[in-house]
Amino acid sequence: MKTLVLANQKGGVGKSAVATLLAHHLHRAGRRVLAVDLDHQGNLSSILQRSNRALSAPVTADALLTSARVDVPAGTFVLVPAADALLGLERQPAQHTPFARNLRAFLRAQAGRFDVCIVDTNPNPDIRVIAALASADFVLSPIQLNQEAIDGVRGLLHHPRVGVHKIRAVLNPALRLVGLLPTMVEATPFQKANFVEIIRHHQSLLIPIGERAGEFAFIPKRSAIAEAQAHGEILWEMKKTAARDAWTEVEPTMRRLSDIVFAKEDEHVA
């Protein structure tokens, strides 16, 4: 089982939207998907529960860290939902190492039951993010095209607790950074200028897509995507032309991420 963690120290960048789209895409492609929501806000949980596609486990995500043995139902698409108890884990520093060990043991126990585990994380750099990255194969960072996102790339790589370099050096040398995924992208002069800045400073962290130079994976800002998230609908199943058009834009990115996770192409993985 491959484990992909979505992480960014800034909230509201579209982590849950990307996690939802990717989970549905992989399930549609025949993959057995386990979704874990470590963000106490529970956005991924509520979206997947509204979709009625994922089987919700009777345990919540905090139990994956606090309990030595946790099981989830059999199924091809299973969600371990968020809970308010996730907030209290950081305030138990003596238990942080056991928390990380428990999550790792849980993920290893699911290896034969699922093909991929998608983990949505909270923006706070706390034990939840550390435990997830310590056991992950991949980390993907959705970002918005603004100055805060550009400045935040340094934190993604170099944060003293949850930076990719620190996690690799201390906890998980096998962790691979898929890259930065711009979200809510619009064809405005402001965003175009910031995209140029991202390319200038961090091109190696963007995810190439297509055959032409300068083409990178992204998620556009489309009302149909927001509507699908709000109502738990599947974007490509919606009957509106706008939804079909949005999926046409999104699908290449989903296919590229799937190829990276399942090692069909690995030339870009850092």
**DSSP β-bridge partners for residue 19:** none
Smallest CA-to-CA distance from 131 within 263, 256, 7, 215 is with 7
pLDDT in tens, 192-221: 888 888 888 888 899 999 777 778 999 999
Residue 227 phi/psi, 5-degree rounding, is -65, -40
Q: What is the largest CA-CA distance in the chain?
A: 53
Domain boundaries defined on the chain: 2-261
Q: How far is CA 95 from the centre of its chain?
A: 25
| Predicted TM-score of the model (pTM) | 0.93
pLDDT in tens, 130-179: 999 999 999 999 988 776 766 677 888 889 999 999 999 999 999 999 99
Superfamily of domain 2-261: P-loop containing nucleotide triphosphate hydrolases (3.40.50.300)
3-state secondary structure of 55: strand
> Which runs of consecutive H residues, i.e. helices, occur in the chain?
15-28, 43-51, 61-66, 96-109, 127-135, 147-158, 164-170, 189-202, 223-231, 241-261
> Angle at CA 56, nearest 5°, toward 66 and 103?
25
